[in-house]
Structure 1
Amino acid sequence: MARAQGARAQMALAFETTYGTPPASGFTRMPFASTTLGSEQPLLSSELLGYGRDPLAPVKDAVTADGDVVVPIDAEAFGFWLKAAFGDPVTTGTGPYTHEFRSGSWTLPSMSIETGMPEVPRYAMYSGCVLDQLSWQVQRSGLLTATARLVAQGETIAAASGAGTPEELSLLRFGHFNGAISRDGVALGNVVSAEVTYANNLDRIETIRADGKIDGADPSIAALTGRIEVRFADQTLVAQAQTGDPCEIGFAYSLPTGESFSFTAHAVYLPRPRIEIPGPQGIQASFDWQAARAETTGRMCTATLVNSVATY
């Protein structure tokens, strides 16, 4: 008997026309490192008395479908997650194409995501997936990945794939060594590590339904936060924290073949950090920053992806 192995797992994604309804075609095979996406339905213990010490049968509670997907930050497939986070991009060019994803949209697309274990076989289709949070870390070495947190409406299990033959994309992966961090357009030095988290702060519409599923997930006030860890070499960031003025911080990655990804937070506010001297080693300062809407651009952040994909 074949046993499920993660090495043979598959994932396909397609955007939905109608929330909660998987499309008949148009799926794309997605690279991923791991996923906790799943559906669960807990049991409620019986509270009734008068039938002895042994409890009565439990009752099923509402269905919850959500989870995380860890994906590589690459030149093509990552655009699907950016569209899920920000909505449709503004695309220009005739190849290569420049896709500009802008924060602030009140309408987010829903997705159907199928995870497959062909050797069992087991194919789980998660419909009505809306992206709640997208985050990644910036560091000197290691694999560059992002974590997409999703809220789904429900799960359907089948013995055969419902995604048909997914479209294949080229895997052109960015690495940490391809990255750079800038402040107001000037390279920001002495950075040890950084974190970026964009959250749509979804509001689950938990109406009463016979199937126990949610009716949707609406975006509320978005949030863009993170952390910058720097070697304490000058007073630039500390001075900004003291004055309370915002700055623009950009994270950029590029490949020798011309593909690139940049993420710009247009108005970043820094807290005043505690500067400690822990010992004889180098002194570091940590800034837990927050971004807000910038008056110059009219939005909080912009993600730009340059590749050979004509449309998302």
Structure 2
Amino acid sequence: MARAQGARAQLALAFETTYGTAPASGYVKMPFATASLGAEQPLLASELLGYGRDPVEPIKDALTADGNVVVPLDAEAYGYWLKGAFGAPTTTEGTGDFEHVFTSGSWNLPSFSVEVGMPEVPSFAMYSGCMVDSFSWSMARSGLLTSTVEIVAQGEDLATSSQAGTPSTLALKRFGHFNGSVKRDGVDIGNIISAELNYQNNLDRVETIRADGKIEGADASIAAMTGSIGVRFADTTLLNQAIGGNSCALTFGYELPTGETLTVSVPRVFLPRPRREISGPQGVQVTFDWQAAQQSDGSPMVTVTLENAVETY
């Protein structure tokens, strides 16, 4: 008897025309490192008396389908997760590539279906009505660069064969920490040690009463763009901004030698006044946990630009 192994697992994604209805075709094979996306339904222990010391059978509680997928930050496949988080991009054709611009602020986010397959069992779980609740990643000097995508799904349907057909494949062009940069008001930030980005849609589950136990949908609430930057304390530029309550523009970018780029622009960022601890003889580091806001004229809080060879998302 075959046993499931993560090395043979498959993940395919397709955007839906109707929320909660898995498409019959159009799936794309997605690279991933780990996946906790799944459905669970706990049991409620019986409270009834009069049947002796041994309890009667439990009953099923509400069904919950959600989880996260850890994916590489790459030049092609990551655009599908960005579309789930922000909506369809504005795409323009350049010289030999395409520029996809994703912006925050949309009230209507697309839903998609994800099939997680373990062919050796065989077991194929189709999660329909998926929506991106948040995505995040950390920037550092070394290590593997991955992003965690939190997903809220409507439900799970199990099958012994794939319902995704033959998914199309994308070229894996992965960004690394070596390709990254962080800028403040267009100028590289000196002495930066680390950075974190976290975008949240703050989805509100519509938990109506249904015979199938699934949710009715997930509505986008007030979004949030937050993160942190860790720096060696060498000047007071960031500290003075925090004390003064002023904003700045932060830009997080990656560029591959082959020309693919990913740029996250946050035009209006506010910094808190941080604690400056001296923990020993080594260098003093300061962490600023920043928060973003919409621009003064109501323009988007965050813009993500992805340049690659993909014609459309």
**How does the TM-score come out when normalised to structure 2?**
0.99
Q: How much has 1:175 moved relative to structure 2?
A: 0.3
Partner Cα separation in structure 1 for residue 63 and residue 192 of structure 2: 44
Partner residue, 2:25: 25
| 1:297 Cα deviation from its structure 2 partner | 6.6
Match of 2:133 in 1: 132
Write the mapping of 1:276-287 to structure 2, written as runs, cut at 5 A: 276-287=277-288
2:298 and 2:276 map into 1 onto residues whose CA distance is 33
The answer on whether the counterparts of 1:266 and 1:297 sit within 8 Å (CA) in structure 2 is no
| 4+ aligned runs moved over 3 Å, structure 1 | none
CA distance in 2, matches of 1:16, 1:174: 28
Residue 235 of structure 1: aligned partner: 236
Aligned to 2:290: 289
Mapped pair 1:102 → 2:130? no
Q: Distance in 2 between matches of 1:297 and 1:165?
A: 43
Q: Give the aligned partner of residue 51 of structure 1.
A: 51
- Alignment of 1:211 with 2:212, yes or no, is yes
Shift of 1:307: 0.4
Alignment of 1:156-305 (within 5 A): 156-295=157-296, 298-305=299-306
Cα pair 1:182 1:188 within 8 Å, conserved: yes
**Structure 2 residue 4 is the aligned partner of structure 1 residue 4:** yes
CA apart distance, 1:52:
1.1
Provide the rounded CA distance (Å) in 1 between the counterparts of 2:176 and 2:32.
15
Count, aligned residues: 312
Alignment partner, residue 69 of structure 2: 69
SS at 2:25 equivalent: coil
User: Structure 1 residue 40 and structure 2 residue 40: aligned?
Assistant: yes
In the alignment, structure 2 segments of 5+ residues that lack a partner are none
Give CA-to-partner distance per residue, 1:121-160, whole Å, 9 cap, x none.
1110000000001000000000110000000000111110
Deviation at 1:171, TM superposition (A): 0.3
Q: Secondary structure at the match of 1:239?
A: helix
TM-aligned CA distance change 1:306 to 1:8, over 3 Å: same
Q: Could you tell me how far 1:294 is from its partner in structure 2?
A: 1.1
Deviates more, 1:245-254 or 1:290-299: 290-299
Within 1, Cα distance between the matches of 2:150 and 2:235? 36
How many angstroms apart in 2 are the aligned matches of 1:217 and 1:296? 29
| Letter of the 2:260 counterpart | E
Deviation digits for residues 247-295 of structure 1 (CA, Å, limit 9, x no counterpart) = 0001000011110000011111000001111111000001111000012
Contact 1:272 1:287 in 2 (8 A): yes
User: Any idea what the Cα deviations from partners look like across 1:169-194, whole Å, max 9, x if unmatched?
Assistant: 00000000000000000111111011
Cα deviation, residue 203, structure 1: 0.2
With the length of structure 1 as denominator, give the TM-score of the two structures.
Answer: 0.99
Q: Where in structure 1 are there 5+ consecutive unaligned residues?
A: none
Give the secondary structure class of the aligned counterpart of 1:114.
Answer: strand
Identity %: 65
Superposed displacement of residue 245, structure 1: 0.6
- Give, in whole Å, the separation in 2 of the partners of 1:277 and 1:60: 54
